[in-house]
């Protein structure tokens, strides 16, 4: 029988105690439990953050989720992937939309989302729109060939990934106190043309 805590036991500690526990693990002052399903714990913390909204508890749960996602390799021996990063940025975007931006805040700084976007997307809106148009043309001309063409499938996946990244930035456009650069606004205008 294991002495390691279950997910329910961990969640029952509350967000502040969990955040402290994670910090102690990362500092090496507390042993890392092998039986904890860190991705599930992060998803549950993120879900709790969203469901509690812009309350103190909501913010604390968001910080727990972000701490896990951003330290996945150290906690779980697995590097964070694109979907983990997108989950972190979705949390930030949600709270920026509901609470407003705060420069320098690890949760509410829109510059963190913009920097992530620029690190993640390596093309221009014009190029992405042109590539999307070529993909649509190929699909209309020869759908069976397109579905078997690995380069077409890869292109569609990449364009869809860009569209998903843009969906994270979109909620911030409803805030007059978030100033987005023209290139970001241009990307957001191009988003509907992506697959």
Evaluated on CA atoms 138, 130, 133, 185, the torsion sign reads positive
Q: Is residue 22 assigned to a domain?
A: yes
Q: Is residue 90 assigned to a domain?
A: no
Domain shared by 75 and 123, yes or no:
no
Domain shared by 74 and 23, yes or no:
yes
At 194, list the tokens.
Answer: 């992506």
At 52, list the tokens.
Answer: 């509690």
Q: Is residue 61 assigned to a domain?
A: yes
- pLDDT mean over 36-40: 92
Domain shared by 144 and 194, yes or no:
yes
Q: Is residue 92 assigned to a domain?
A: no
Give the tens place of pLDDT for each residue, 120-160.
999 999 999 999 999 888 888 877 777 777 888 899 999 99
Domain shared by 125 and 173, yes or no:
yes
Q: Does residue 77 come out as left (phi exceeding 0), alpha (psi in the -120 to 50 range) or beta? A: left
pLDDT at 85 over 50: yes
Domain shared by 72 and 126, yes or no:
no
Domain shared by 120 and 184, yes or no:
yes
- pLDDT mean over 2-30: 92
The CA distances from residue 179 to 100, 109, 173, in Å, are: 11, 12, 8
pLDDT at 1 over 60: no
Q: Is residue 97 assigned to a domain?
A: no
Question: Is residue 187 within a helix (H) or strand (E), and if so which, with residue range?
Answer: helix 182-190
As for how many domains the chain has, the answer is 2
Domain shared by 122 and 188, yes or no:
yes
By residue range, what is the domain housing residue 122?
A: 111-195
Q: Is residue 102 assigned to a domain?
A: no
Q: Is residue 34 assigned to a domain?
A: yes
């Amino acid at each position: 029988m294991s002495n390691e805590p279950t997910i329910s036991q961990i969640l029952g500690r509350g967000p502040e105690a969990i955040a402290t526990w994670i910090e102690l693990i990362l500092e090496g002052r507390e042993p890392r439990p092998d039986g904890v399903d860190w991705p599930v714990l992060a998803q549950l913390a993120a879900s709790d953050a969203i469901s509690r909204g812009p309350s103190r508890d909501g913010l604390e749960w968001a910080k727990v989720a972000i701490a896990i996602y951003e330290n996945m390799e150290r906690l779980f021996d697995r590097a964070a992937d694109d979907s983990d990063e997108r989950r972190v940025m979705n949390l930030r975007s949600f709270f920026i939309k509901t609470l407003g931006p705060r420069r320098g805040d690890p949760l509410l700084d829109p510059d963190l989302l913009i920097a992530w976007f620029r690190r993640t997307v390596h093309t221009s809106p014009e190029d992405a729109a042109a590539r999307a148009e070529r993909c649509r043309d190929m699909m209309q001309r020869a759908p069976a060939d397109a579905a078997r063409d690995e380069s077409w499938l890869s292109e569609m996946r990449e364009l869809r990934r860009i569209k998903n990244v843009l969906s994270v930035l979109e909620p911030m456009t409803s805030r007059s106190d978030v100033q987005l650069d023209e290139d970001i606004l241009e990307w957001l205008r191009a988003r509907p043309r992506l697959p």
